[in-house]
Amino acid sequence: MALTQQHFDSADALTEQFATTLTRLLKEGIDKRGRASLVVSGGRTPLALFKTLSETELEWSKVDITLADERWVDESDEASNTRLVKQNLIQNKASEANFVSLKTDHNDAADGIAEAESRLSSLTQPFDALILGMGEDGHTASLFPCSAQVEDGLNMSSGKICIAVQPTTAPHQRISLTLPALLNSRNIFIHLTGDAKKRVLEEAIANDTELDKPVTAVVNRAPVTLMWAP
């Protein structure tokens, strides 16, 4: 499948254009289907994008937002992606958006899977837009190459929407959408900044080893747009 690359001169230019594109896609979803769904990633990269989106005019009350993955920590924990999204995206004009959390009260993520999957079933699918980040080890969402669960997460016929993941090279147990669940999106973006990550992505695609660099599995199966700035 094709990777379309959109390169920008600065992170600000990337943020502006990305917010415009996402708003257009969400509006299109609302116009055609009554509601729209947006799947975002955690980490530091999307922070400015979240802030810009939150200031954007849109019928946010008709938008459902969830995460591609979540660290299995309380919402009060600095590491919580839910906290990040609520503090930066579900604010201002976007405060009316409906946020669907993947985190449940269970101590172990494995015990929260059924509830998380049931929550996700309320979202318009295919998702209108999916924003993925990537780590320098080639993980995307929480499909970590170091984890024992990576094969399960990349299995296209598992029938699973979410899995519990225990990375060995990153902190916190996680819950992640599986590859088939992520691919159930009308528009897929990989959002990266910096030369190092761009190199990792290019090498991952060239070497085509999905278990070693799970981001490759997404690019191999769907049209993906890379949104990149230095």
Query: Under the criterion CB under 6 A, does residue 135 sit at the interface with ligand 6PG?
Result: yes
Query: Under the criterion CB under 6 A, does residue 201 sit at the interface with ligand 6PG?
Result: no
Name the residue with the smallest CB distance to ligand 6PG. 133
Nearest to 136 by CA among 192, 93, 200: 200
Query: Under the criterion CB under 6 A, does residue 44 sit at the interface with ligand 6PG?
Result: yes
User: Please, which of residues 152-191 interact with ligand 6PG by CB under 6 A?
Assistant: none
Q: Closest separation between CB of residue 71 and ligand 6PG, Å?
A: 6
Show the tokens assigned to 178: 């599986």
Site string for ligand 6PG, 93-132 (x = CB under 6 A): ----------------------------------------
E strand map for 14-73: 36-40, 63-67, 69-71
Comparing CB distances to ligand 6PG, the nearer of 139 and 198 is: 139
Q: Which of 42, 112, 138, 167 binds ligand 6PG (CB under 6 A)?
A: 42
Q: Which residues contact 178 (CB under 8 A, 6 or more apart)?
A: 143, 152, 153, 154, 155, 158, 160, 161, 162, 163
Q: Which amino acid is present at 77?
A: D
Nearest to 127 by CA among 1, 40, 2: 40
Q: Which of 45, 66, 185, 216 binds ligand 6PG (CB under 6 A)?
A: 45
Q: Which stretch binds ligand 6PG (CB under 6 A): 40-48, 100-108, 120-128, 216-224?
A: 40-48
How does strand 174-177 pair with strand 129-132?
unpaired
Nearest to 124 by CA among 100, 91, 157: 100
Residues within the interface to ligand 6PG (CB under 6 A)? 41-45, 68-69, 71, 81, 133-135, 139-141
